[in-house]
Chains A and B, each alone.
Chain A
Amino acid sequence: MSAQDAWQGTVQTVLVGAQRSGATPAELLDRCAELGLAAHAAQLPPLVDASPLEPAPGSGDVPVHRLARAVLVQVLALDDQVLLTEWCGLAKAARAVADHRDLPALLGLGTAHHGLRPAITAVLGARGRWLAGLRPAWAWATAGGADDDVPLDEVLDLPGPARQAALRRARTRDPAGTREFLAARFDGQRRATDRQALVNALETNLGPDDEPLLEHALDDRAIGVHDEALRLLRTLPASKLAERAAERLHRGLWLTADGFDVQTDELWTEHQPEPDEARDLLKDGSETGVAGRIRGAAASVPPRHWTNRLDTDDEGAAVELARGTWAGELLRGVAQNLRLADDARPWAIAATRALTGMEQLEMLAGLPAELAARTVVEVSEQWNYDLLDHACSQLPSPWSPRATADLLDRYAAARAPRWRAGRPPAVLLARGDAEVLGANWARITERWPEHTVDLDVLRLRMQLREAFNHREVSQ
């Protein structure tokens, strides 16, 4: 009998007990002492047939400077996702990748927080992508990604968010093929939410070729599907919807000495819209009445419609629209399509005078980051602290140096609510340009003397900049 067999037999005996197995406890314990030690110590490592791990591919990736790595250690300890994103952004800009030793921690964070994945993926380098392939939980960071393998035919069987993500990825890869797939499946979907999801998928890489399917969806009986299609159609500048809306605006509004007004005996003097017009309006109840119908039409044309009609530039057109009885509705409509303007700034400024605080925030959310920041600077002179803070919270980081300097001025001039007087604005310190804020350190601490953790975050951000600048200088 081998020692291993003897040990197995002894364990069996100990399990049932000396009394039942006919042995004495002392004898059994002697065997446990002897064979247990032998089982632990007298081991021969087995021959392993499994194939070895493929080595990581070679790469010319440059790891970050040790100072930058030291800052990353502190950022990870601080558990601040915004700072981590900033670190990754700076490393990417410096064309450097994370140190190999930090890759497991970064992959772990990316697995736990979806929002961090794009930033982390940018600094993984070839070694990180290779490493990600070793653990199923890290598959998101591999070159292909885990969900990319889902065939288009099976995408509709996925649960809601996964289906939407897969359809958007498919649109990114093959817009035309995916459109054909969506068009073929649209009428077969019995649930309105499923049809709405198909329409929503067109938002990625939306183009003129998608217009027929969207026009078809406008005839859908479900409000959600209709409104989703209309929302997307309104972002296409040269669509049939835009032509129809332009024709209605020509027909329904005329230019008076006091600005645009409703043309008598025309469509907007009727109480209820014709079916054709109703088809081009949101059915969620927000575009009813004359004001809603005018707003809907204005939202369906690009700002260029007004510059052409008035034969002026964006600034002149914005001034003209802001004059009339329907200025509020027209500018609300235009505000929805500011991305299509040649110069959105005057439109945004004019619109903010007509919009409520919440509408202004919605408009700003739809603008490109830099334009939104400039608009906030332009229009926030009369804003209260809360509105300024909300608007700044919507601006994606990092802010440009100019926007940071201007918004610092705005914050410094704004009168903060009593409960936070003396405390520096968190969003400014977390998202503003670190160099500009660092240069204004004395001003910041003088204007807001109360010490908060936001100042520590800013200090770490400044160290982060220094770490990457140091590397550039040393190069």
Chain B
Amino acid sequence: MDARAVLELAPDSRVANSATRLAGSSGWRGTGRDDTALWGLCAGSGASPYQVCVDLGDRASKCSCPSRKFPCKHALALQLRHVREALPVAAPPEWVAEWRSRRQRRVAAAPDDSPEAVARRAKAKEKTALARRDAVRAGVAGLADWLADVVGAGIAGLPARDAEWWRSIGARMVDAQAKGLASAVEEVRHVVAAGGPTWAHDTADRLGGLHLLTRLADSPELADVVRGRIGFSVTEEEVRAGEGWSDHWAPLLKLESDDGLVRTVRQWAWGRAHGWVVAVRHAGGGARPVAPLEHGVQVRGVLHPYPGAPPHRVAVGGELLERPPGPVPVPGTWREALAGLEEPLRADPWQRLHPLGCASVRPTRDTAWLVDDEGRGVPVRADLALDQALAVTGGGAFDAWGLWNGRELRLGAVARPGGVPEVVG
């Protein structure tokens, strides 16, 4: 990771600022590294220095400072020092070894393997699953009634609804153990609250999507996708134990979101044999989640797909090895690119954000559109990524990749026509 990638882990700019200053501090001692971790002691305001260590695998960190920011400035500063000049290889001190073994114990707590215990667990699991199925069924029925009420009364009254009204239906879905439905209702609320000229269209679309979910909740059709949308989750360990896709991956697109409690980073990577996949990571407590793959760096390795539809959500498997970057295939026109969305939308009709690319596009004079060789264009979002793309390409034609929400493209990567993509933004 370079300095920029390390600083991107900071939960906010103040921490990044402090970490940069602290990295050059002379208050560090006992710094070292081995194959899996960095560690060091950083003088703070207290009598004893803070013990800081960072796992090089997933960049998880531990620091004895009282900061509630995560990762704290000490953990980031230690990584920055390592970026500037590799820390000396050394044997890990006791407190580092202890932290590491505690983490490993937590990850691989040995279960009781006796037949009785296995049978007991299976029975309990079945019971839990049945109870949850009934709860979800009741929740879906409640949601169907709610949808009928809302559409019956008309959505014109929704902007006047207070927070408590929205919270009550969300809480019902949470009680019904259908977290996915609760999130979907929350999304409807955000669409209504955001307003704008298309809020009614977006709200009607989302309500239609929820209606479709309630209709397909007990149907075998699109079962994997529907279960995922309702909120039946699959653990990362289960996914990792399943099928693995070995490929050359190019992580080109990234989107960060924050619902107030949890921060999420979604990262779309192009696999030469498997097409687009999306890796997701969450972090709570104000921490900023680390992107699962180093953004913009092409790697070879194994990713494990979750059940569902393309673009599949994936979990990172073993070690990913950096590979020389190469070009990424891209549709020749916007028409071709948008037509390519048919298959993923058939498999997951609720998807509203798609990775989309087009070869050799030119920005218009007002930089509001990206126009292809046929003279057809898509609106592009005016943001830092677009400015960087213009700065890099100088107004010439470029291959573009971005996230398409049906209205505008959020640019994420650009390349000279036929060249190696470079992430922007």
Are A445's CB and B26's CB within 8 A?
A: yes
User: Closest Cβ of chain B: how far from A182's Cβ, in Å?
Assistant: 40
Are A127's CB and B204's CB within 8 A?
A: no
Are A134's CB and B27's CB within 8 A?
A: no
User: Closest Cβ of chain A: how far from B3's Cβ, in Å?
Assistant: 5
Question: Which secondary structure dominates chain B's binding surface?
Answer: helix
The answer to the question of B391 belonging to the interface, with a C-beta cut-off of 8 Å to chain A, is yes
Are B24's CB and A459's CB within 8 A?
A: yes
A33 touching B395 in the complex, CB below 8 Å, given contacts A11-B200, A47-B375: no
> Count the B residues whose beta carbon is within 8 Å of the partner chain — how many?
72
Task: Provide the residues of chain B in CB contact with A1, threshold 8 Å.
Answer: none
15 contacts between A and B (CB under 8 A): A15-B200, A17-B153, A25-B152, A33-B209, A36-B209, A40-B345, A43-B406, A44-B376, A54-B365, A55-B396, A56-B395, A78-B20, A127-B391, A128-B391, A460-B20
Task: Provide the residues of chain B in CB contact with A15, threshold 8 Å.
Answer: 154-156, 200
Task: Provide the residues of chain B in CB contact with A35, threshold 8 Å.
Answer: 208
List the 5 closest A-B pairs by CB distance, nearest first: A17-B154, A32-B208, A36-B205, A56-B394, A33-B208
Are B363's CB and A456's CB within 8 A?
A: no
The answer to the question of B388 belonging to the interface, with a C-beta cut-off of 8 Å to chain A, is yes
The residue in B7, B20, B23 that gathers the most chain A C-beta atoms within 10 A of its C-beta is: B20
Are B388's CB and A104's CB within 8 A?
A: yes
Task: Provide the residues of chain A in CB contact with B207, threshold 8 Å.
Answer: 14, 29, 32
Besides A79-B17, A107-B387, 13 more A-B contacts (Cβ < 8 Å) are A14-B155, A16-B154, A16-B156, A33-B208, A33-B209, A48-B375, A50-B364, A100-B391, A101-B424, A104-B391, A134-B390, A455-B24, A463-B84
Are B208's CB and A25's CB within 8 A?
A: no
Instruction: List residues of B whose CB falls within 8 A of some A CB.
Output: 2-4, 7, 13, 16-17, 20-27, 43, 80, 84, 147-149, 151-156, 200-201, 203-209, 211-212, 215, 334-335, 338, 341-342, 345, 349, 352, 362-369, 371-372, 375-378, 384, 387-388, 390-392, 394-396, 406, 424
> Cα distance A130–B345 when bound, in Å?
40
The answer to the question of A382 belonging to the interface, with a C-beta cut-off of 8 Å to chain B, is no
A-B pair count, CB < 8 Å, reads 201
The answer to the question of A41 belonging to the interface, with a C-beta cut-off of 8 Å to chain B, is yes
User: Closest Cβ of chain B: how far from A372's Cβ, in Å?
Assistant: 30
> Cα distance A45–B396 when bound, in Å?
21
The answer to the question of A26 belonging to the interface, with a C-beta cut-off of 8 Å to chain B, is yes
A40 touching B22 in the complex, CB below 8 Å, given contacts A10-B204, A11-B201, A52-B371: no
> Cα distance A36–B365 when bound, in Å?
32
Residue interface mask A3-15, B partner, CB < 8 A = 1 = 0000100110011
> Cα distance A32–B211 when bound, in Å?
9
User: Closest Cβ of chain B: how far from A237's Cβ, in Å?
Assistant: 48
> Cα distance A451–B341 when bound, in Å?
58
Task: Provide the residues of chain A in CB contact with B392, threshold 8 Å.
Answer: 100-101
State which of B152, B200, B377 has its C-beta within 8 Å of the C-beta of A46: B377
State which of B148, B365, B372 has its C-beta within 8 Å of the C-beta of A26: B148
> Cα distance A29–B334 when bound, in Å?
31
Are B395's CB and A54's CB within 8 A?
A: yes
Are B391's CB and A40's CB within 8 A?
A: no
Are B151's CB and A41's CB within 8 A?
A: no
> Count the A residues whose beta carbon is within 8 Å of the partner chain — how many?
65
Are B200's CB and A456's CB within 8 A?
A: no
The answer to the question of A193 belonging to the interface, with a C-beta cut-off of 8 Å to chain B, is no
The answer to the question of A74 belonging to the interface, with a C-beta cut-off of 8 Å to chain B, is yes
Are B365's CB and A50's CB within 8 A?
A: yes
State which of B338, B342, B384, B394 has its C-beta within 8 Å of the C-beta of A55: B394
Are B25's CB and A451's CB within 8 A?
A: yes
User: Closest Cβ of chain B: how far from A164's Cβ, in Å?
Assistant: 32
Task: Provide the residues of chain A in CB contact with B155, threshold 8 Å.
Answer: 14-15, 17
State which of A25, A29, A53 has its C-beta within 8 Å of the C-beta of B365: A53
> Cα distance A15–B372 when bound, in Å?
37
Task: Provide the residues of chain A in CB contact with B80, threshold 8 Å.
Answer: 74
Instruction: Name A133-155 residues within 8 Å CB distance of B.
Output: 134-135
A50 touching B366 in the complex, CB below 8 Å, given contacts A55-B395, A456-B25: yes
State which of A29, A52, A134 has its C-beta within 8 Å of the C-beta of B148: A29
The answer to the question of A257 belonging to the interface, with a C-beta cut-off of 8 Å to chain B, is no
> Cα distance A41–B27 when bound, in Å?
57
